[in-house]
Chain A
Amino acid sequence: MSEHHEAAMSTTETTTKNYLNNKLGIMSWLFTLDHKRIAVMYMIAILVAFLLGGIFAILVRTELVAPGQTITDADTYNRWFTLHGAIMTFMVIIPGIPAVFGNFILPIMLGAKDVAFPKLNLASFYLYVGGALFALLSIGLGGVDTGWTFYTPYSTSTSSAVIPIVLGAFILGFSSIFTGVNFVATIHYLRPPGMTWFKMPLFLWALYATSIIQVLATPVLGITLLLLIIERAAGVGIFDPGLGGDPVLFQHFFWFYSHPAVYIMILPAMGVVSEIVSTFSRKHIFGYKFIAFSSIAIAVLGFLVWGHHMFTSGQSNLGNMIFSALTFTVSIPSAIKVFNWLATMYRGSISLKTPMLFTQSFIFLFGIGGLTGLFLATLATDIHLHDTYFVVAHFHYVMMGSAMIAFFAALFYWWPKISGRMYNETWGIIAAIMNFIGFNATFLVQFIMGSKGMPRRYFDYLPEFHIYHLISTLGSYLLAVSFVVMAVVLIHSLFRGRKAPDNPWGGATFEWQCASPPPTENFASPPPVRDPYDMTWLVYSKSVGGFIPRAGREVGDTP
Chain B
Amino acid sequence: MHGESLQHSLAVLLFQGDGSFWMPPKGSTTAAEVDWLFYFIFWVSMFFFTLIVTLMVVFLVRYRRRPGREEADELPHHNLALELVWSIIPLGLVVVIFWVGFQAYLNMSTAPPNAYEIRVTGMKWQWLFTYPNGWADSELHAPKGVPIKLTMTSEDVIHSLYIPDFRLKKDVVPGRYTSAWFQADEVGEHNLFCAEYCGKEHSSMLSRVIIQEPEDYLAWLENAAAFYDELPPVEAGAEMLKKYGCVQCHHVDSTASTGPPLNDLFGREEQLAGSQTITVDENYVRQSILEPDAEIVRGYQNVMPTFQGKIKDKEIDWIIAYLKDISSHYEQPELLLGTPEAEAGEAAEATEPAVEAGVDEVPPETSADGGEGVGDE
Chain A interfacial positions (CB closer than 8 Å to B): 66-68, 74-75, 78, 145, 147, 151, 153-154, 157-159, 241-242, 246-248, 281-290, 312-314, 317, 320-321, 324-325, 328-329, 331-332, 335-336, 338-340, 342-343, 345-352, 360, 363-364, 367-368, 371-372, 374-375, 377-384, 386-388, 447-448, 451-453, 455-468, 470, 533, 536, 540
| Stretch in B55-63, B283-291, B356-364 with 4+ CB within 8 Å of A | B55-63
Q: Mark B28-44, 1 if CB is under 8 A from A, else 0.
A: 00000110011001101
Q: Mark B1-41, 1 if CB is under 8 A from A, else 0.
A: 11011101110110000010111100000000110011001
- Cα distance A246–B108 when bound, in Å? 26
A350 with B60: CB separation less than 8 A: yes
A314 with B170: CB separation less than 8 A: yes
Closest to A373 in B: B45
- Cα distance A290–B5 when bound, in Å? 51
The 7 closest A-B pairs by CB, nearest first: A241-B175, A453-B164, A463-B5, A378-B101, A379-B105, A380-B104, A283-B72
Collect the chain B residues with CB atoms within 8 Å of residue A447's CB: 22
- Cα distance A285–B72 when bound, in Å? 12
- Cα distance A284–B196 when bound, in Å? 48
A153, A283, A342, A533: the one contacting B52 at CB < 8 Å is: A342
Closest to A244 in B: B175
- Cα distance A129–B89 when bound, in Å? 46
Q: Knowing A328-B97, A336-B87, A371-B49 touch, does A387 contact B162 (C-beta < 8 A)?
A: yes
Q: Knowing A288-B78, A328-B95, A378-B37 touch, does A247 contact B158 (C-beta < 8 A)?
A: yes
Q: Mark B274-299, 1 if CB is under 8 A from A, else 0.
A: 00000000000000000000000000
- Cα distance A381–B35 when bound, in Å? 8
Collect the chain B residues with CB atoms within 8 Å of residue A342's CB: 52, 55-56, 59
A281 with B63: CB separation less than 8 A: yes
B75 with A347: CB separation less than 8 A: yes
Collect the chain B residues with CB atoms within 8 Å of residue A286's CB: 77-79
B63 with A324: CB separation less than 8 A: no
A154 with B197: CB separation less than 8 A: yes
- Cα distance A289–B70 when bound, in Å? 27
Q: Knowing A324-B101, A350-B59, A374-B94 touch, does A314 contact B176 (C-beta < 8 A)?
A: yes
Q: Knowing A339-B86, A380-B33 touch, does A320 contact B105 (C-beta < 8 A)?
A: yes
Given known contacts A350-B63, A388-B162, what 4 new A-B pairs fall within 8 Å (CB)? A75-B200, A380-B33, A451-B38, A467-B13
A346, A372, A378, A453: the one contacting B63 at CB < 8 Å is: A346
**B109 contacts the other chain (CB 8 A):** yes
Chain A interface SS verdict (over half): helix
Closest to A360 in B: B56
Closest to A78 in B: B200
Q: Knowing A386-B169, A452-B164, A453-B24 touch, does A381 contact B38 (C-beta < 8 A)?
A: yes
**B83 contacts the other chain (CB 8 A):** yes
B195 with A387: CB separation less than 8 A: yes
Q: List 11 A-B contacts (CB under 8 A).
A: A153-B157, A154-B157, A314-B178, A317-B105, A349-B65, A363-B52, A380-B167, A384-B164, A459-B202, A464-B8, A466-B8
Chain A nearest Cβ from B83, distance in angstroms? 5
Closest to B170 in A: A312
Interface hub of A380, A457, A466 (most chain B Cβ within 10 A): A380
**B173 contacts the other chain (CB 8 A):** yes
**B203 contacts the other chain (CB 8 A):** yes
Collect the chain A residues with CB atoms within 8 Å of residue B78's CB: 286-290
Closest to B302 in A: A159
A352 with B22: CB separation less than 8 A: no
Closest to A534 in B: B77
**B115 contacts the other chain (CB 8 A):** no
Chain A nearest Cβ from B194, distance in angstroms? 7
Chain B nearest Cβ from A280, distance in angstroms? 9
Closest to A285 in B: B77
**B310 contacts the other chain (CB 8 A):** no
- Cα distance A152–B285 when bound, in Å? 30
Closest to A153 in B: B157
Q: Knowing A367-B49, A378-B98 touch, does A387 contact B106 (C-beta < 8 A)?
A: no
**B91 contacts the other chain (CB 8 A):** yes
Chain A nearest Cβ from B55, distance in angstroms? 5
Chain A nearest Cβ from B182, distance in angstroms? 12
A247 with B6: CB separation less than 8 A: no
A313 with B197: CB separation less than 8 A: no
B167 with A383: CB separation less than 8 A: yes
